[in-house]
């Protein structure tokens, strides 16, 4: 079985549509989307559209709602109360370990794919993200990286989409993901940003001192404006050597 690990972002969406066009072979048997139930609304809208473009099925799987599971009070066998912080929040000791990808993405995908083993998993990592390549953690899975075979960068994927008359896909990440940069926080809809603020407040009741932004400032107090908006010169993203005579 050839199965696409579909994140519904730029790279995996482009890879899926290229396969649908016959530009990457063989035709996949299916794609799997692991739903944390916490993606921004635009991602679910995009996924619904994408499913209608593909000649192969998209299987949606989920372990649970990541936000609810993070905030859920647990009781150990010895009666101790505790919580599981799955996401890499920022505290006194830097970011917490990230467990969400493994537990809420990889595990559900592997569980769905297991009856079809052996499986070749197509993963949408582009040339500019080659460092993200990992070995599969099951012997019956072989990872394949079609965008590296071509090769294509993320920008090439966007160009391919536009060339074929498709809209540019949204970035796929939970609305409260601590790995958002400022532009990505700014890009959230008001509804999704407000949900992230409420989640952070609830999180701090069970894990005081943990924040979603690396500044360790509550989201609704962070200044997400750009240097230009604050009246500062961009200086070519600090790449200017100062010798061009401008």
Spell out the per-residue pLDDT of the chain, length 246, in tens.
Answer: 999 999 999 999 999 999 999 999 999 999 999 999 999 999 999 999 999 999 999 999 999 999 999 999 999 999 999 999 999 999 988 788 999 999 999 999 999 999 999 999 999 999 999 999 999 989 999 999 999 999 999 999 999 999 999 999 998 999 999 999 999 999 999 999 999 999 999 999 999 999 999 999 999 999 998 766 665 544 444 443 333 333
For the domain bounded by 2-238, which CATH number is listed? 3.40.50
Tell me how far apart the 2 most distant CA atoms of the chain are, in Å. Answer: 70
Tell me which residue of 157, 193, 213, 200 sits closest to 16, measured CA to CA: 157
CA–CA gap between residue 28 and residue 109 (Å, rounded): 15
Q: What phi-psi label fits residue 231: left (phi over 0), alpha (psi between -120 and 50 degrees) or beta?
A: left
Per-domain boundaries in the chain: 2-238
pLDDT at 238: 42
- Which residue has 């990286």 as its token pair? 145
CA–CA gap between residue 13 and residue 18 (Å, rounded): 9
What is the full DSSP assignment across 141-209? EEEE-HHHHTT--HHHHHHHHHHTTPPPPPP-S-TT-TT--HHHHHHS-HHHHHHHHHHHHHHHHHSTT
- pTM here is 0.89
**CB contact at 8 A, 150 and 15:** no
């Amino acid at each position: 079985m050839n199965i696409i690990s579909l994140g519904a972002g730029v790279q995996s969406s482009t890879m899926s549509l290229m396969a649908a066009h016959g530009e990457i072979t063989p035709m996949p048997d299916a794609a799997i989307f692991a739903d944390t139930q916490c993606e921004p609304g635009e991602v679910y809208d995009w996924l619904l559209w994408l499913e209608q473009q593909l000649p192969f099925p998209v299987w949606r799987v989920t372990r649970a709602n990541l936000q609810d599971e993070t905030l859920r009070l647990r009781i150990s066998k010895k009666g101790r109360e505790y919580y599981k912080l799955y996401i890499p929040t920022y505290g006194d000791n830097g970011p917490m370990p990230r467990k969400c990808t493994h537990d809420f993405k990889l595990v559900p995908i592997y569980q769905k794919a297991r009856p079809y083993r052996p499986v070749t998993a197509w993963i949408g990592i582009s040339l500019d993200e080659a460092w993200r390549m990992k070995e599969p953690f099951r012997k019956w899975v072989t990872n394949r990286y079609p965008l590296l075979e071509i090769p294509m960068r993320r920008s090439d994927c966007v160009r391919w989409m536009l060339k074929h008359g498709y809209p540019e896909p949204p970035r796929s990440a939970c609305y409260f993901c601590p790995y958002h940069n400022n532009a990505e926080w700014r890009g959230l809809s008001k509804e999704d940003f407000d949900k992230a603020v409420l989640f952070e407040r609830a999180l701090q009741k069970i894990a005081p001192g943990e924040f979603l932004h690396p500044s360790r400032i509550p989201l609704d107090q962070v200044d997400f404006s750009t240097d230009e908006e604050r009246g500062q010169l961009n200086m070519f993203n600090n790449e200017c050597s100062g010798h061009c005579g401008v």
